[in-house]
Amino acid sequence: MELQETSYQIQGVDLLNVANEFGSPVYVYDADKIVKQYKKLCNAFEGVDLKIKYACKALTNINILKLLRQQGCGLDTVSIQEVLLGLEAGFEPSEILYTPNCVSFEEIQKAVDVGVQINIDNISILEQFGNEYGSTVPVCIRLNPHIMAGGHSHISVGHIDSKFGVSIHQVPHLLRVVKTYDIKVNGLHMHTGSDILDAEVFLIGAELLFNVAKEFKDLEFMDFGSGFKVGYRPGDVTTDIESLGKKITTRFNAFCKEYGKELELWFEPGKFLVSESGFFLVRSNVIKQTTSTVFVGVDSGQNHLLRPKLYDAYHEITNLSNPFGTKRVYSVVGYICEADTLAYDRQLNEVREGDILAIHNAGAYAISMSSNYNSRFRPAEVLIYKGKAHLIRQRETFEDLMKTQVSVEI
């Protein structure tokens, strides 16, 4: 999003025109930014056989999936529903990684039936898998390296008390299970969390995987997860992808020589690919001044953007309607019957009732975590693609709200 003369634009498309045409609130995504981030990641790991699997839980709109598939990206899924979305978007089953957590064995069987790559993070489930499929269906194993990573406890998933992955200390038991059921392990996986800055976190985890990998002779790939940090505040420190790529590429190639076989290196970014592409446009309903605070009340809330409430996440906000107005301090709040503050004590160009505000970094874990709380409708989504605004999800209606409810005689 850039300020061109008097208006904020994406690919030459005026965002105020988008809000007027499609209404507010509305999610807007910049296709060029998504492609740029994908290419940046690929270029950083030029020296290896790299496979990127987009963590689609970040943003599952089928048009985003199609866009990334067009670039050569694969898919990381965590539910059978995401698997089906991927197939609907045109991905081949072999391009889809399925990494469930605490699902029924029946769901895993459904994923096997459609032919995707299975990734198991539980010894009990692995035993059931081995008993059912033996060596006929290859499987990846997700290990928990017990590395604390990420800026918030909710986004760190590789620590010792995490529900994700088989503990690195359980490897002897894991090996017995694999041998007993003649399980073909074709990949090893780890994911430590999000907002990781230091390449050493990946390298420490890599060394753990490399040590375990020596016990498996049929590996085809190693998956290091993701967690690359993007910028939320002006001047934020972000993951140095180029430096990370060089360090990991060097060490990975050295390991492949030790292993005696060239392996594929997988990453599964979500936020890194789509977060910065997204802007959430909301309208100011009211300006309300109390004894201590000036509130901007907007036509949205935690039902559409949960991250500030759930993670204390910071999202930059821009007043699109008044780009040169005097700076004033506001707290931006929603219209939900909760304390759904979206931003505290922000300096914004003076906000008037009816102004359109753009909430930045709204491409990841935004609409995908939205709800119908307070019986509000989910917003529309728009993709700016090749200089044109395309509606890619209609705004919900009351009919949508009632569609799955069954009325009985009361």
- Give me the active site residues, please: 337
77 three-state secondary structure:
strand
Identify the H or E element spanning 18. helix 15-22
In sequence order, the β-bridge partners of residue 232 are none
**Cα separation of 10 and 156, whole Å?**
33
- β 26-30/49-55 pair status: unpaired
Instruction: Count CA atoms within 13 Å of residue 12 on its CB side.
Output: 4
Q: Is the peptide bond before 25 cis (omega within 30 degrees of 0)?
A: yes
Q: How far apart are the first and last CA of the chain?
A: 52
**Residue 288: what residue type?**
K
128 three-state secondary structure:
helix
Nearest partner of 319 among 340, 297, 350, judged by Cα: 350
256 CB-near residues (< 8 Å, 6+ apart): 262, 263
User: Residues 129, 122: contact at Cβ < 8 Å?
Assistant: no
- β 341-349/327-333 pair status: antiparallel
328 CB-near residues (< 8 Å, 6+ apart): 294, 347, 348, 349, 350, 351
C-beta neighbour count of 210 within 10 angstroms = 18
